[in-house]
Chains A and B, each alone.
Chain A
Amino acid sequence: MQVDSSVIQADATQPLTVDLGAVSEWKVRRQEFVRATPDQKKELLRKSSIGIRQQVLTTINGAGLGHIGGDFSVTDILVTLYEGVLNLEPGNPNWESRDRFILSKGHCAAALYSVLAKCGYFSESRLTHFAKDLSPLNGHPNRNKIPGVETNTGPLGHGLPVAVGCATAAQLLGKSFRTYVVVGDGELQEGSNWEAAMYAAQRGLGGLTLIVDRNRLQQGASTADTNDLEPLADKWTSFGWETHVIDGHSYEDLLRVLTLQPGDRPRAVIANTVKGKGVSFMENGVEWHHKVPSAAQYEAAMKEVAA
């Protein structure tokens, strides 16, 4: 196939820069969040999640590709982290004391990018350039092109070891920043995770929190029918981690566990989620791992996620 360079969108190739207006709005939201009652917090996160799911739909629809099922299973986790938990300065993405967040399941980039844009790491308008030719918004996150991305992910089983390195650095340097990493459940079939799991326990990395997006489906089938992960909580506990099992769509559960003070062990949060969460015809459908909605499905989904 011949490439016609004249059709490359010039705007899509521009570097991403911090959106100061969006950063200010994020700061206002964060202040409001801090003051809010528990019920108000849940409502704030619910509203934000609606916006993010709609943004993901629009982004994937525009690109004609993406991983919408996993994007929707992880959306509530990401929104809770960025709106209510992580210690960040989106206006200064390389702030030394920032909490580190790594999306190991990098194929869910559209969800991460939507959340990063909402915080002001770059303008939401740039999401129309997702996966376009020469766009910095690659199909998988690239830290050198996208403010707020900590390490390049995509191949599975890479995020946890890097997160262990970040948490080790905090320990060695006596810094208080925390490290959070989200892995997909299918991804735990990669052995590198278990190398990292052993070492995190060995070092007593209390500043490290792992969140497993436990949607029970991998690309082609259920994890149970492919290479079963159970008993998953027991595995983490036996590896020396403090283990929690929660509803990954419950803001109450997420906030409770993700804001616990660091202990003397790394923390594993198995977040039970639903692949395609929020859209009835996508939920638990293995084909929605990377299917792109039709125009009619897009319209229906936009309504459902707002319900």
Chain B
Amino acid sequence: MSKVDNSVGFDCRQAFADELEKMAREDTRIVAVCNDSVGSSNLGAFRKAFPDRLVNVGIAEQNMVGVAAGLANAGMRPFVCAASPFLTGRALEQIKADVVYSDFPVVLCGMSPGMAYGELGPTHHSIEDLAWMRAIGDLTVTVPADPDETRATMRWALESGRPCFMRVGRTKVPAVSQPSVTFQPGKFNTLRDGQDISIFAAGTMVSRALEAAEYLAEGGVDARVINAASIKPVDVASVISAAKETKGILTVEEAIIYGGLGSAIAEVVVQNHPTKMRILGVTGLAPTGSAGFLMDHFGLSATGISKAALELLART
């Protein structure tokens, strides 16, 4: 039941590609920049519609991000589309200096993040991206949970005119947002209210956290579930409320447990209202396996999440 079933749900990359094409029709400044990733970023239709507005630099991530900054210098609005491990790892200094420090309106779209490329091994897992991106200056870092939130985040990123990193998931997810969902940095969406424990989850983990809350409810535990898409800045008020109003905080992310969502929440908790916490995520370089297998392996399934919640509540 907790296994990832890739035959159902939504691939956020498709929603991303459709929305980018739609936005590009409305806004001639939009250009897609990629690293030989037309296929993996689902940019085939975009290329067909706007052949001149797809800048494919080849397998060269440092140049890709630098080129995006230069395009933005001349008034264009680049969406850089590349597999998240290579975008964030290979071009880290370009993201810092050319995009964030230079403050260009570049949207960095980390495709197939987390362990989406599970079978390909740790080189292709992007579990460090959140920690790396979160450490860079005034960069908004977001992990949309489903297609509607992906679209809303793209709209916000274009309007904000500021540097932004967004994960674009490959692992299929159910819809958890209302179609009218908006993205606001520093604002979480509480999807289920509860008084016993708060579960902050992002991206692929949101639907699993909601499912975990159902299991917990069967056992009489009333869990609050918060979609924490805005990894940076976090919703400080939401975190403090959870710390005050519930008996513990569990964070769940498809990322390394150092420096990501859990760390961001913990930073708020320890400085404002210390309470019991558990950070659930990937604990080190992951083994090889399907995304579903690896999520189960690290306890990132509905049953794993509910088990961690009960352990946390039992902790004295």
The judgment on whether A and B are partners is yes
Q: Is A199 an interface residue (CB 8 A)?
A: yes
**A163 — which chain B residues lie within 8 A by C-beta?**
70
Nearest Cβ on chain B to A197's Cβ, whole angstroms: 9
**A173 — which chain B residues lie within 8 A by C-beta?**
74-76
Interface range for A: 35 or more
Nearest Cβ on chain A to B161's Cβ, whole angstroms: 13
Say yes or no: A166 contacts B73, CB within 8 Å: yes
| With A152-B101, A199-B58, A199-B63: A165-B93 Cβ-Cβ less than 8 Å | no
CB-CB contacts below 8 Å: B36-74 with A: 52-53, 55, 57-58, 60, 62-63, 65-74
Which partner residue on chain B sits nearest A171 by CB separation?
B52
Nearest Cβ on chain B to A70's Cβ, whole angstroms: 19
| Stretch binding the partner chain, chosen from A143-151, A211-219, A242-250, A295-303 | A143-151
Among A155, A170, A199: residue with most chain B CB under 10 A: A199
Nearest Cβ on chain B to A147's Cβ, whole angstroms: 14
Q: Is A161 an interface residue (CB 8 A)?
A: yes
Q: Is B31 an interface residue (CB 8 A)?
A: yes
**B69 — which chain A residues lie within 8 A by C-beta?**
151, 161-162, 165
Q: Is A195 an interface residue (CB 8 A)?
A: yes
Which partner residue on chain B sits nearest A100 by CB separation?
B73
The complex places the Cα of A142 from the Cα of B98 at a distance, in Å, of 11
Say yes or no: A158 contacts B97, CB within 8 Å: yes
Interface string of B281-293 (1 = CB under 8 A from A): 0000000000000
Nearest Cβ on chain A to B28's Cβ, whole angstroms: 9
The complex places the Cα of A61 from the Cα of B101 at a distance, in Å, of 28
The complex places the Cα of A167 from the Cα of B93 at a distance, in Å, of 22
| With A166-B73, A168-B55, A172-B52: A196-B97 Cβ-Cβ less than 8 Å | no
Say yes or no: B103 contacts A169, CB within 8 Å: no
Among B57, B63, B94: residue with most chain A CB under 10 A: B63
Q: Is A279 an interface residue (CB 8 A)?
A: no
Nearest Cβ on chain B to A179's Cβ, whole angstroms: 8
**B71 — which chain A residues lie within 8 A by C-beta?**
165-166, 168-169, 172
Q: Is B241 an interface residue (CB 8 A)?
A: no
Which partner residue on chain A sits nearest B67 by CB separation?
A165
Q: Is A54 an interface residue (CB 8 A)?
A: no
**B66 — which chain A residues lie within 8 A by C-beta?**
158, 160-162, 164-165, 192, 196
**B52 — which chain A residues lie within 8 A by C-beta?**
172
Nearest Cβ on chain B to A138's Cβ, whole angstroms: 10
The complex places the Cα of A161 from the Cα of B97 at a distance, in Å, of 12
Say yes or no: A199 contacts B67, CB within 8 Å: yes
Say yes or no: A192 contacts B63, CB within 8 Å: yes
Say yes or no: B101 contacts A161, CB within 8 Å: no
**A232 — which chain B residues lie within 8 A by C-beta?**
none
Say yes or no: A161 contacts B94, CB within 8 Å: yes
Say yes or no: A169 contacts B63, CB within 8 Å: no
Say yes or no: A152 contacts B58, CB within 8 Å: no
The complex places the Cα of A217 from the Cα of B67 at a distance, in Å, of 28
Say yes or no: B70 contacts A164, CB within 8 Å: yes
**A170 — which chain B residues lie within 8 A by C-beta?**
74
Say yes or no: A164 contacts B102, CB within 8 Å: no
Nearest Cβ on chain A to B315's Cβ, whole angstroms: 43
Which partner residue on chain A sits nearest B58 by CB separation?
A199
The complex places the Cα of A276 from the Cα of B160 at a distance, in Å, of 45
The complex places the Cα of A292 from the Cα of B66 at a distance, in Å, of 33
Among A142, A165, A175, A179: residue with most chain B CB under 10 A: A165
Q: Is A96 an interface residue (CB 8 A)?
A: yes
Which among B60, B62, B75, B101 is the interface contact of A169 at CB below 8 angstroms?
B75
Say yes or no: B94 contacts A151, CB within 8 Å: no
Say yes or no: B70 contacts A143, CB within 8 Å: no
**B102 — which chain A residues lie within 8 A by C-beta?**
143-144, 151-152
Q: Is A220 an interface residue (CB 8 A)?
A: no
| With A161-B94, A195-B62: A144-B73 Cβ-Cβ less than 8 Å | no
CB-CB contacts below 8 Å: B85-99 with A: 93-94, 97-98
Which partner residue on chain B sits nearest A165 by CB separation?
B70
Which among A164, A175, A177 is the interface contact of B67 at CB below 8 angstroms?
A164
**B62 — which chain A residues lie within 8 A by C-beta?**
157, 161, 191-192, 195
Which partner residue on chain A sits nearest B100 by CB separation?
A152
Say yes or no: B98 contacts A151, CB within 8 Å: yes
| Interface pairs A-B: 10 shortest CB-CB | A165-B70, A161-B66, A169-B74, A195-B60, A195-B63, A165-B67, A192-B62, A166-B70, A162-B70, A152-B102
A-B pairs with beta carbons under 8 Å apart, 20 shown = A151-B73, A151-B104, A152-B98, A154-B97, A155-B97, A161-B65, A161-B94, A162-B66, A162-B73, A164-B63, A165-B66, A165-B73, A168-B55, A168-B71, A175-B74, A192-B62, A192-B94, A195-B58, A195-B62, A198-B60
